[in-house]
Amino acid sequence: QVQLVESGGGLVQAGDSLRLSCAASGDTRCISAMGWYRQAPGKEREPVAGITSGGSTNYTDSAKGRFTISRDNAKNTLSLQMNSLKPEDTAVYYCNALTWDIPTMCGRGYDYWGQGTQVTVSS
């Protein structure tokens, strides 16, 4: 089992910055890729940024150039630096972690989620 807890959300003005954090606990040795997703009211949950165990990153188009995802494997933490925030970024942001599909070590691969942290950007 893996537990994920997000923090760092809040109310900011357009153009401001926020840094979200995700603390992983439990069987963290089994975590492979991690990422951030978000869900606005009435909308589907969408991926924002992802990062592999080796540090390769990818971003949704709306986040490119503004957001930076990073991870500290030793501390089992994931971060999302969000700059130049826009009202369209308003959503609940969720931390996600994938586990290795290695039965002898970590069992079947699984997708874990945190409880979410609210980000509200006012115009």
> Longest C-alpha distance within the chain, in Å?
51
Q: Strands, DSSP E only, in the chain?
A: 2-7, 10-13, 18-26, 31-39, 46-51, 57-59, 67-72, 77-82, 91-99, 111-113, 117-122
Percentage of residues of the chain with pLDDT beyond 90: 97
Measured torsion, CA atoms of residues 60, 61, 67, 68, in degrees rounded to the nearest 10:
60
- SS3 of residue 97 by DSSP: strand
**pLDDT confidence of residue 41:** 93
pLDDT classification of 91: cutoffs 50, 70, 90: very high
DSSP 78: E
What band does 73 get if pLDDT is binned at 50, 70 and 90? confident
Structure-token pair, residue 112? 């874990």
Task: Give the whole-angstrom CA distance, residue 77 versus residue 43.
Answer: 27
Q: Tokens 């540090």 label which residue?
A: 55
What integer best gives the mean pLDDT of the chain? 97
- Give tens-digit pLDDT for 94-119: 999 999 999 999 999 999 999 999 99
pLDDT score, position 123: 93
Token pair of 102 as six digits: 């290695």
- Strand 18-26 to 2-7 pairing: antiparallel
